[in-house]
Amino acid sequence: MNETPDIHDDFSALSKKFADYFGAAPLFAVRSPGRVNLIGEHTDYNGGPVLPFAINLATFFSVGENNERCLKIFSEATGESLSYGLEKTPHETATTLSKILKGSLTLTGYIGPGLNIYADSNLPIGAGLSSSASFIVGMIRCLLTAQKKELSHDELAVMAQKIEHEFLGVHCGIMDQVAICSGKKGAAILLETGKMEKTFLEVPGNIEFAVIDSLSRRSLATSDYNQRGKECLEACKYLGVEHLASLTMDELNSATLKIAPDTLWLKRARHVVSECERVYQVAEHLKAGDFIALGKAISASHQSLRNLFSVSTPLINTLVASAESYPDCYGARIMGAGFGGCILAVLAKGAAAEFQEYFHQRLEQLNMSPLPFYVVKPSAGVSVWRFK
């Protein structure tokens, strides 16, 4: 089985990579995890609840100072290196990295020392595990630490979301950033985005989570993600509400008696309203340890994302069906924004290794190549590690 690294991963290897690249030792490292969302997809920008957790895969930054009044960064994932003069207004090129740097320097109002940063990651990029939010939160944390500044978890999350909105053009909700900033080992976060209220729910040791990366990619900014947001707003306009999450299913049904069921905005609204209800159900099932009911809700979420919200793909549907055909899989679904990316499978305790083998054989039977497989665990949120 693939080894999925755990925290606190190998900071000495990170330190060595930094030293090889910059020729000096780093001062500190930042670990910024990815996230899995148990349930509550496309509900966060509709004022609804979500149930994510930070995971044991992360972006790592090792950071040292330089005397050149500039910020130099190397990203191992993309092979990109950039250098910024800190005296000037941050500039940007067309790359995502430069936009993130410009956003982070601007919003933190960075006036600290020159910095060398080596960014490394064991988080698959663009797979629906929030690699982008993980990078942004980590980058902000680096700049704050270098300036000896602190922000609360929620302030950090909101700043990272602002960078997505204003510098990357992705009108995302707040789920990813909150999970990454506030994650706790062994717990999922029931986040009610309307009130920004968090309840930590213990994830019992007798379920396991596997993530399978379909390797199909579609970037959020160019995908239909923003379009879904617009369709939800259109639904709000017809229904006379500010947020779709403020409606119950009964209210939605009675308000739309005369509307054709295949009307686009109504389908989107039906997904959001039913998904919000499923989040609360799954939270209860988690507390009660009722994994069969939990799995059914996970699979129902997939059907809704596929049929009503139209964010799944034929490949993903095949992967979900393959996962669900395994006897010890409680439920599976597409995860994250969709349009490709990865699936989440909820498994009985101890089943992950056998499930991986089973899944591999299913792919062979379907004449498909093996796909990256990760066992993920609820882990701590963003953290700073000081080298001695």
Closest to 64 (Cα-Cα) out of 151, 149, 145? 145
- The answer to the question of residue 298 lying near ligand GLA (CB under 6 A) is no
Does 352 contact ligand GLA by CB under 6 A?
A: no
Name 46's Cβ contacts closer than 8 Å, sequence gap at least 6: 173, 232, 243, 244, 245, 272, 276
Question: Is 120 a residue of the active site?
Answer: no
CA distances, 359 to each of 1, 172, 238, 260 (Å): 12, 32, 44, 40
Q: Provide, rounded to whole angstroms, the least separation between the CB of residue 61 and ligand GLA.
A: 21
Q: Please report how close the Cβ of residue 172 comes to ligand GLA at its closest, in angstroms.
A: 3
Residue ranges in 149-178 that form contacts with ligand GLA under rule CB under 6 A: 172-173, 175-176
Of 11, 18, 45, 265, the one binding ligand GLA (CB under 6 A) is: 45
Out of 9, 20, 44, 176, the active site residue is 176
- The edge-to-edge listing of strands for the beta sheet with 187-192 is 49-50, 187-192, 197-202
Nearest to ligand GLA of 126, 378 (CB atom): 126
Which DSSP symbol is given to 89? P
Give the per-residue contact string, 94-133, with ligand GLA (x = CB under 6 A; - = no).
------------------------------------x---
- In whole angstroms, the minimum distance from the beta carbon of 86 to ligand GLA comes to 29
User: Shortest CA distance to 164 belongs to which of 223, 119, 103?
Assistant: 103
64, 336, 378, 381: which one binds ligand GLA (CB under 6 A):
336
Residue 353 Cβ vs ligand GLA, minimum distance, rounded to whole Å: 28
> Please, what's the largest Cα pairwise distance for the chain?
70
The smaller minimum CB distance to ligand GLA, of residues 130 and 145, is found at: 130
Q: What distance lies between CA 62 and its chain's CA centroid?
A: 22
Name the one residue in this structure whose structure tokens are 């509307």: 259
**Binding residues for ligand GLA, total number by CB under 6 A:** 11
Residue among 105 and 311 whose Cβ is closer to ligand GLA = 311
Q: What's the CA gap between 118 and 291, in Å, rounded?
A: 41
**34 in contact with ligand GLA (CB under 6 A):** no
Query: φ and ψ at 291, to 5 degrees?
Result: -80, -20
Q: What is the set of active-site residues?
A: 176
Q: Which stretches of the chain bind ligand GLA, using CB under 6 A?
A: 41-42, 44-45, 130, 172-173, 175-176, 336-337
